[in-house]
Structures are given as C-alpha cells and as structure tokens.
Amino acid sequence: MDSADDGGRELILRTATRLFAALGYDCSSVAQVAEAAGVGQEEIHAHFPTKRELYLAVMEQARNVLAEGIRPRVDALMAAPPERRARALHDFIDGYLDLCVAHPEMPALWMHRWLSDASDIVSLEAENAQPLTQYVVEGVDTLAAPAGADPLHTTYTLIWCTHAFVVSGVLDGSGVRRGIDDQRQLRRFRAHLHQLLGRALGLPEPEAGQRVPGL
C-alpha cells in the first residue's frame, strides 16, 4: 500500500492526476488531494507550493508518458517506405489508442481542458502540448502530403476520436454505454480508426487476414 513515506511526491502526483481527471482542475482542491492521498496539506505544499504548480506537474508527467510511448511510432511513420506506410500507420494508431486505454486519465485531463478547465493557465498548450503535437503532425504529413490530405486535421481526427471513445465510449443498440472495458467495442473502434485514417491518407485497405478479428 502506498504511503507518504514511500510514495512521497509520486503518491501526491498520482492522486492529483486521478482527481483532476475525474473532476477537473477548477473543481478540485489541495484539501481533496490531501484527503485522497492520506497526507497533510503541508506535505503537498512542501512539494508543490500551489495548486497551479501541482496541476502543471501533473500535465507535464502526462505529456512525458505520452511522448515516451508515441515518439518511436512517429519515427517509424516518418521512416516507412511506401509499401510499409499502411502498416506503420496502423502501428501508430494502435500505439496512441493503447496508451490512452492504459492511461485514461490523459484524455480525461485534456477533455476537461478543452471545456475551459484551468483557463487561467494560458501557457499550457504552447509549452506542454504543442511541441509534441507538432512532431506528430510532421510525422503524419509524411503520409498526408502524397494524398493531398490535411496533416493537422488528420492528426486531430485521431486525437478527438480516441479521447472521446476512451472517456465516453458509445451507446449500443439497447442504450447501454460501452467503452474501453468492452473488448468487442474496443476492437471495432480500432478497426474504424484504421479504416478512417487509412482512407483519408489514400492507403490500401488491409487484406482480409490482416483485419481486426471479432467484428
């Protein structure tokens, strides 16, 4: 079990990440983080003097996790020869989706932000999100340019769709919400992303034996 002694700063960051992802920055307090982490507010302030600094640390950590997982996939996308581009695109899509499924707090944090959460912290996009996003756009442009597609909006199509599915899922035929815990819906969504972006970028459809099974 985590404790302040052996968790310290990381325990506080994990707890704050869960709360900011669930409630948003504006609706969370240092007192709530302290209570959920089982530490005193003074210990939080020893690591993070203000709630703003705690939030920025949470967003930086989320960005670093994303960068570590996605940069190798972007590199592979840039380096792929024409005959490997469809496979590299699928690997890139899978890497992004799998990372968000493993860390659903990341899309949740940014979806709160899209709804004007922490709107007083105006530099976050430029300093946190933009450098990595621009790197991804440049990787996607390797495939978009030959197809006459828009690399920026192709990138954001992946981001928007993935974040929405991970956070909210879809309603099935009976009105029940199905998301990342439903493996069949997850497979369907993955296949949809492959098809959607592959067609947008003018890439060949996968052969029957390469399609996502179980649809």
Q: What is the pLDDT of residues 1-49, one digit of tens each?
A: 344 454 689 999 999 999 999 999 999 999 999 999 999 999 999 999 9
What was the pLDDT predicted at 205?
A: 80
What is the pTM assigned to this prediction? 0.90
* 158-212: pLDDT as tens digits: 999 999 999 999 999 999 999 999 999 999 999 999 999 999 999 988 665 455 4
Q: Is 38 left (phi over 0), alpha (psi -120 to 50) or beta?
A: left
Give 177's strand partners. Answer: 171
Residue 103: pLDDT over 80: yes
Are 100 and 92 spatial neighbours (Cβ–Cβ below 8 Å)?
Answer: no
What average pLDDT is seen over the chain? 92
The span from the CA of 34 to the CA of 213, in Å, is 45
What was the pLDDT predicted at 136?
A: 97
Is residue 25 helix, strand or coil? coil
The span from the CA of 55 to the CA of 185, in Å, is 32
